Structures are given as C-alpha cells and as structure tokens.
Chains A and B, each alone.
Chain A
Amino acid sequence: MLPYASARQRSLAHVLIEELDSGKWTRFRAAVAFAGTSANTKELVASLRSFAAGGGEIAITFGADAFGEEAQGSEALAVEQLLNDLHAYPTARVFLYHEDGRIFHPKVYLFDSLDRQAALVIVGSSNWTRSGQIENVEANAIVPLNLGRSGDLEQFKELDRCFVEFWSEAT
C-alpha cells in the first residue's frame, strides 16, 4: 500500500523507476485510464528508455476517452511525448483503448520475467499523472507473484490474458 508514501520516496513513480532500473524484469506493461504530461518526468522517461534499450518489452495502454464539456481523458501531448521518447525502441509500444459507452478505467502496472518465474503487480488508484503517481493520497497494492506456484501463476495468466487479448493489439 502506498498512501502518503511520497515523503519517504516510495510513491508509485519511485517504485516504477526502481523496478524498471532493477534489472529483474524483462517486460513492463501498464493499463491506465488517464495519461497526463505531468507523469512523463525525465526520471521516469529515462528509466523507460533504459529498460527498452536493454531489450525490455514495454506495452502501455491508455484510455482514449475525450468526453464531456470538461474534456476529461488522456492528454494528447502526454501520449505524443511518450511516442517520441520511445520511438527509437521497437520493443516499446503504446496503445489507446476506446469503446463507445464504456470508460477505460484500470490502473494496473505489471512487471514480469518468465525466466525468473516472477512478476510484480501493482494495482490501485493511480493514473499516469504526476498527481496520481506522486502527489495524491492514492492506494496501490504491490503484489509479488511467484510464477512457479500454481495459484500465483493462475493470477498472472488471468491478468496477462487481459493485456494480450483486450488491452493490446497484435502487430
């Protein structure tokens, strides 16, 4: 859980950067409702680039729901920044999810390494925004999974299926 964790440098942004830099994972996937430019800090972008440069696979899916007079939804500039920052890395992909009448609303971050039979799921309330990752009082559960254990493997498979079948597009 991560409420009030920013003061101890354990905000979600800190955790994401730490995990990307850890060398433990071969894949980072995220499915997040809203993206804001404020989350694309130079530190996080540097870690994403370094992760991809090392051959790590990145797949990030944002909601594409521009709705209402208040114009809610992911910021175009936030997505464009990431595309530009990760353009040089073919293993890094960004997706948009749009479904009429339904809002894309998950906040799931998933690291895994099938070689190590390990995964790390972060699921909670944080959007891809600075406020969601650093400033707000958010709550995220960080769940390590041992993919050598059937129960954990089943949990991972279910989440993996969501990413593969529903939140990414085959290329």
Chain B
Amino acid sequence: MTNPKDDLGKGFVRQVTRENFDTLRHLLRAPGAPTGAVAVGGIAMKVEAPEVTAARALFKGHGVKVPNWFSPAVGTASGSGPIPTQGPMGAPAPQSAHAPVALPSQPVWSKTLSKTDAQRQSGNKTGDLRLIKADQPIDQKTFFRFAVFGELAWTTEPHGHEEATGTFDVTILGTHHGVLPLTLSHRPRGHADQENYTTGLRWGSLAGLLRSQIDVTKKQLRLYSLPNTAPADFAIEIV
C-alpha cells in the first residue's frame, strides 16, 4: 500500500504525443485566440470550454502545499485577516492552492483606486490599473518599469510598447484569490502625469470580477515586492 505522501507533487505531467495532442492542446495558447471570455447576459464571463476541462482532468496529483513560514506579526500593516468562507455576493470564496503570502511590512507603492482603475467608469473599461505617482516621491516614468518590475522579462511588442508578466499573490477585501499571472504594459515614449500614465497593470483574469462583482472604487491598493523565497513575485492587497 502506497503512502499518499509519497505521491506529493506528482501526477501533474503528461507526455504529449502526436496522438494525444488534440486532447492536450486546449491547455496551450493558440496565437491570436484569447481564452474563453464570452458575453453572458451582457456581462463578460469567463467560461471554461468542455475540452479544456477534459484536458485538465488528465492531470491529477497530490499537490504540495507551501507552508506559510513567515507569518505576519499581529497588528502589522498588512491588514490581511482570515480567508472568509463566503465570497462576494454570497458566492463561494475563490479556491486558492496557497495561503496568502506573508506581506512585507511596507508596500513599495499604494494607491486609492479610481473608478477607472476599478473598472467601474462609464463607457469602455480600460482593463488595467494605472501606475502613477499617487502622491508618492517617485518618478513614475521609471519607477515601475525599472525599479519595481525591472527584474521581469520585458519584451518589446510590435507597436513599440513593452510588456512583462509577473506573478501576483492577490487578496481583495479579505478574500485571497491565489497567485495569478498579470501583465504589465509600459510605453517608453509616453507622457506620464496623473492623466496620462506610462505603465499599467492589466487586471487580466480579475477584470471580470472587478467589473461585475467586487467594487473596489476608493479602496486602497497596496503593492508589495516579495522575497525570492515567496511563491509569487509580487503581492497585491486591496483593503
């Protein structure tokens, strides 16, 4: 009889061949075809296609839970409380493979979110968080691109702007949403004042949530840079 602990972390890899590729390809990126964000009742909802579900089902294992070695001290500025058992609007709380990371004592940047940041402005939603000075002693034209996110792998896109993707441990109003990949966009030649920002953080898979379920207008966003031992590059906390 095998000990389940012997299987920890195993079972998440499959050999891909020409014979089974059509089954597994749904987990891979088709150029120019973003994953299934479809309109349901006028609201953009992310719906997983059946073939994706079937492909994901092939990967079964006992995941390794990363211990939260560095618990924040009681009363720190992190403000992170217990994970609620219910999510917004009575929906179940999002499932996350990790506990929220222990946050450093000080964020590298913070901002009170505008309606535009919160994806609640009228008209077209921007899909991103504008990274601006926000009353802090920084040069927003360089601070985010070269200081905060400088270690990410930036690529220059066809239109001249740069992009990089980092991993973010995200907690919104006390609910932990796990570690998510989020993409940054930087326009090197752009102007950068409060109205015309140079660097933005795309909400990615969180955009729909912010648009339709959680209103974070006027809430404070805190951005943390995490140590190399953490399970994510950065943390975002909205309180």
CB-based contact B30/A76 at 8 Å: yes
CB-based contact B13/A168 at 8 Å: yes
- Give the contacting residue for A79; candidates B16, B52, B167; CB below 8 A: B16
- Give the contacting residue for A138; candidates B13, B15, B127, B153; CB below 8 A: B153
Is the C-beta of A113 less than 8 angstroms from some C-beta in chain B? no
Q: Which of B24, B27, B97, B98 has the most CB atoms of chain A within a 10 A radius of its CB? A: B27
- Give the contacting residue for A87; candidates B18, B37, B63; CB below 8 A: B18
Over the window 62-83 of chain A, the binary record of Cβ atoms lying under 8 Å from chain B Cβ atoms (1 yes, 0 no) is 0011111111111111011001
**Considering the chains assembled together, what is the distance between the CA atoms of A125 and B155 in angstroms?**
13
Is the C-beta of A61 less than 8 angstroms from some C-beta in chain B? yes
CB-based contact A70/B155 at 8 Å: no
Chain A positions 45-97 with a Cβ under 8 Å from a chain B Cβ: 61, 64-77, 79-80, 83-84, 87, 93-97
CB-based contact A71/B178 at 8 Å: no
Across the interface, which residues of A come within 8 angstroms of B10, CB to CB?
A: 165-166
Is the C-beta of B204 less than 8 angstroms from some C-beta in chain A? yes
CB-based contact B207/A69 at 8 Å: yes
- Give the contacting residue for A96; candidates B16, B63, B154; CB below 8 A: B16
Is the C-beta of B179 less than 8 angstroms from some C-beta in chain A? yes
Chain B positions 34-57 with a Cβ under 8 Å from a chain A Cβ: 34-35, 37, 46, 52, 55-56
Interface size on A, residues (CB 8 A): 44
Is the C-beta of B33 less than 8 angstroms from some C-beta in chain A? yes
Known: A68-B181, A70-B34. A100 touches B97 (CB 8 A): yes
Across the interface, which residues of B come within 8 angstroms of A68, CB to CB?
A: 35, 180-183, 204-205
Output the least CB separation between B172 and chain A (Å): 16
- Give the contacting residue for B34; candidates A64, A69, A97; CB below 8 A: A69
Known: A94-B15, A97-B12. A103 touches B33 (CB 8 A): no
Is the C-beta of A41 less than 8 angstroms from some C-beta in chain B? no
The residue in chain A whose Cβ has the minimal distance to the Cβ of B98 is A101
Output the least CB separation between A72 and chain B (Å): 5
Q: Which of B16, B33, B63, B179 has the most CB atoms of chain A within a 10 A radius of its CB? A: B16
Across the interface, which residues of A come within 8 angstroms of B98, CB to CB?
A: 101
CB-based contact B181/A93 at 8 Å: no
Is the C-beta of B116 less than 8 angstroms from some C-beta in chain A? no
Known: A66-B27, A96-B27, A166-B10. A131 touches B155 (CB 8 A): yes
Output the least CB separation between B199 and chain A (Å): 16
Known: A69-B207, A131-B155. A75 touches B28 (CB 8 A): yes
**Considering the chains assembled together, what is the distance between the CA atoms of A132 and B182 in angstroms?**
18
**Considering the chains assembled together, what is the distance between the CA atoms of A141 and B55 in angstroms?**
35
Further pairs besides A66-B27, A96-B13: 7, Cβ < 8 Å: A64-B27, A64-B59, A69-B127, A69-B208, A72-B29, A75-B28, A98-B14
Which of B's residues lie within 8 Å of A, judged by CB?
9-10, 12-18, 21, 24-31, 33-35, 37, 46, 52, 55-56, 59, 61, 63, 95-98, 127, 153-155, 165, 167, 178-183, 202, 204-205, 207-208
List of 4 A-B pairs having minimum Cβ-Cβ separation, nearest first: A101-B97, A76-B28, A64-B27, A68-B204
